[in-house]
Structure 1
Amino acid sequence: MPGATTTARFKTDLEVTIDFSFDDRPSVGSLTCPAREVCFVSDDSDPIDVALIKLGEPIDPAQKLLTPLSISSGSDDYQYIYVMGHPGKMPKVPDNVLAVFGTPNERKRVSFGETIDGGTPGPNEFMHDASTIGGYSGGCVLPFMKKEVIGLHYFGDPLSGNRAFTAAALRAHPVGQFL
């Protein structure tokens, strides 16, 4: 329901932090921020499965947050895109996943691809071919050379392609009031 607040909260005895440098590069300095508040969590029945949290200032006062990404307000057709995700650990990693991702270890990955025609996406979705596995769901889809989110990746299939909700769908959704 638009305007409704979430009842989700962080446990009081748990410190939640976001590490923006949690990737496979050699240490380049940590940019870690505390998660302060759960702003929005979609209902279980909502097809747009999204959660939004508010961050505090970086734990290291010498660090600065990067400029936040914006949510696209245009309807431009972008061809080349990338998706960011944190693929989870798998008990047995298939050879085809190893060939593309190495061993998934919950560290940040970026996958490049193109938007594609085909399939039967809904009116608030688009398809792309960036390689994804579990852990990319909820990842931002961005066009090359722009700092605006054009979609939210939510499903992948190696044969039929990957799906993302459009920025317009996010803006029209109840989470849009926080974007």
Structure 2
Amino acid sequence: MTDLMLDDVDHDLLALLQRDASRTLRDLGDEVGLSPSAVLRRVQRYRSGGLLGHNVAVLDPRHVPEVILSVCLVTIEDDTPEEGRRYRARLLEAPEVQQAYEVSGDYDYVVVLACVGMRHENEVAKRLFQQDPNVKRYTTLFVLDPVRTGVALPTREPPRGRASAEEVRGATD
């Protein structure tokens, strides 16, 4: 990935794409003051620079009642770079792993799982945590209510002294 220089239009365009990537180039251009072809060139630059991965449909877990979401806190025994790479590879290979983070503090990893039913969740936990000799301990927290899920990332700090778009929307809703 290359470091892309982003201007204000880029930040606005990326925020729009993260909210709804299915919008037309014309619609996006109208929002940010660019022609559809200029929007396309920027989107292509984001892709070629590695900033924009792929477009996906994000399902609301509240509408898929069979899905069990869990957050697993994992401590590993051997934290050498080689073992870290091996464990990360195992997490990346598991389709049930929705998110995985190496973290500081009492745990080494936070892993978010999405499974269909408790039997499936138990099988995945056994495969990723119980059967791995390098996993010292793990704790599973089951999600009771997915209050907010999302994958949008900020691309810049919010301006100081001004309310964020979310704060403004909340005040007017």
Q: TM exceeds 0.5?
A: no
TM-score, normalised via structure 1 length = 0.25
Task: Report which of the two has the higher share of strand.
Answer: 1
Greater Cα radius of gyration, structure 1 or 2: 2
Q: TM-score, normalised by structure 2?
A: 0.26
